Structure 1
Amino acid sequence: MHSLNGKLFTAEEATVLHDIICNRRDVRGNRFLDRPVEDSVVQQLLDAAFHAPSVGFSQPWEFVLIKAPGIKQQVKESFMVENEKAAPVFETEKQATYTRLKLEGIMEAPLNIAVFYKPSPQPVLGQTSMDEAGLYSVVCAVQNLWLMARALNLGMGWVSILDAEKVKRILKAPENNKLVAYLCVGYTDGFYTQPELELLQWEKRKTRETTIFYESY
């Protein structure tokens, strides 16, 4: 029988984790510094991602690290096309704010990371009823990476205004792989005390009363 002597954490350590979670921010392009992210730091980020929970211990993630300006520019062009399509979707009072927002840092961030879901060719324990659990596992890896970035005082932004298939072609991704996240990572000039979109009153933080139910809806 395997030992149950895994590490236990102190209340102080739990408080640090709580602070990291509550102070995580989505960092935009106008916040990144022109400072490379050291290879050792990148490995810390990836190590955190590799230790994310995954359905059936499938670990269905793959990461593409991007520093080349030419590749970044191609991805940026996809963003610009999709961003232009997005503005008219929002109500009139939000359109002006939307056009002013800096929603990516593809060129400014020294490191871009494309995160892919790689489906298993074999049945996966725990994924036989909910196939999407594989995608959720990759999102857990992204969250781990994001929290480690914040703990290391690195900025990170998730760019979702992209044509996923076009990005796949740019990065020569395998046909079956699915782009889950395109991340901009780098040192920053600071962190807001609240999420930027909350400060701009784009949305309000939801309350527990409106989101937590007991036994059923």
Structure 2
Amino acid sequence: MPSPTSPIDMAQGAAFSAEERAAVYRTIRERRDMRHFAGGQVAPEVLARLLEAAHHGPSVGFMQPWRFIRVADGALRGRLHACVEAERLRTAEALGVRGAEFLRLKVEGLRDAAECIAVALADGREAHVFGRRTLPQMDLASVACALQNLWLAARAEGLGMGWVSMFDPAAVGALLGLPPGAEAVALLSIGPVHGFYEEPMLQQERWARRAPLHTVVFDNAWGQPAPWLAEGAAEDPMPAAGEKGPR
């Protein structure tokens, strides 16, 4: 008679192989918010795979609040770019002393990328109460999860993706013909790139740096250090491709 299998054994049996895990962690680690694109094209079947990955994202109450609009019209893409440029200038003004430094950054690649996808929160979201009664912003959190799926899938396909949120949602919504209650939250640039940044672009440009892990992980209460996460011990806990554990 076979011995019973414990839940722990079953869970361990569901783990990916070491090589598969390494590929997942490599994709996460090498994902970049891209701003420099090489033109070209994205095959329809590849674009469909990317959007399918996004559509498999988790959503609170399974509300699936995301809507995707492919912007194939060049004139429309130009008008969307103008919305981003207007907000770029307003952002520089709001940044004060860092405004000039900000203006030197490349913050979008809408005109250079093979594809432009606008992402919106669907109308009628107020009907979804499950998981949102006290946290209505979980609709936006759900869209962010979908876009992370798309980002990782694009990286695995060797394509760059940039998420632009620098625009007036009402102006973009009007250009895209969004119904009342819907809201534009992202303009995505997707396509071939000459190369992926070795580190996040804003870190590469010395605008900001990734915070060490131990500064954002607490035990039991805000600000209480996690003794199991020694300072500096897990600054890059994700294994590189081919490695079998943390380095």
- The normalised TM-score by structure 2 is 0.80
The one-letter code of the counterpart of 2:31 is R
- 2:155 pairs with 140, 150, 159, which one? 150
- Whether contact under 8 Å (2:63, 2:128) holds in the other structure is no
Q: 1:9 aligns with which of 2, 13, 16?
A: 16
Q: 2:77 aligned to 72, 78, 94, which one? A: 72
Shift of 1:106: 1.2
Higher deviation after alignment, 35-44 or 123-132: 123-132
Number of the residue aligned with 1:99:
103
CA distance in 1, matches of 2:114, 2:213: 38
Q: Secondary structure at the match of 2:218?
A: coil
Looking at structure 2, the residues matched to 150 and 45 of structure 1 have their Cα atoms a distance apart, in angstroms, of 10
Q: How does 1:12-91 map to 2 (within 5 A)?
A: 12-28=19-35, 31-91=36-96
Gaps of 5+ in 1: none
Q: Select the residue among 134, 144, 155 that pairs with 1:129.
A: 134
| Offset at residue 102 of structure 1 (A) | 1.3
After superposition, the CA RMSD in angstroms is 1.8
Q: Does residue 111 of structure 1 match 2:118?
A: no
Secondary structure of the corresponding residue to residue 136 of structure 1 = helix
* Residue aligning to 2:226: none
Shift of 1:132: 1.2
Cα distance between partner residues in 2 of 1:139 and 1:177: 16
Greater Cα offset, 49-58 or 4-13: 4-13
The SS at the match of 1:13 is helix
Residue identity in the other structure for 1:115: V
**SS at 1:112 equivalent:** strand
Distance 2:96 2:125 in 1: 41
The aligned residue for residue 208 of structure 2 is: 203
In structure 1, how many angstroms separate the alpha carbons of the residues matched to 2:202 and 2:47? 27
Unaligned ranges ≥5, structure 2: 1-9, 223-247
Between the aligned partners of 1:168 and 1:10, the Cα distance in structure 2 is: 44
Displacement of 1:91 after TM fit? 4.6
Identity across aligned pairs (percent)?
37
Task: Check whether the contact 1:67–1:110 (CA below 8 A) recurs between aligned residues.
Answer: no
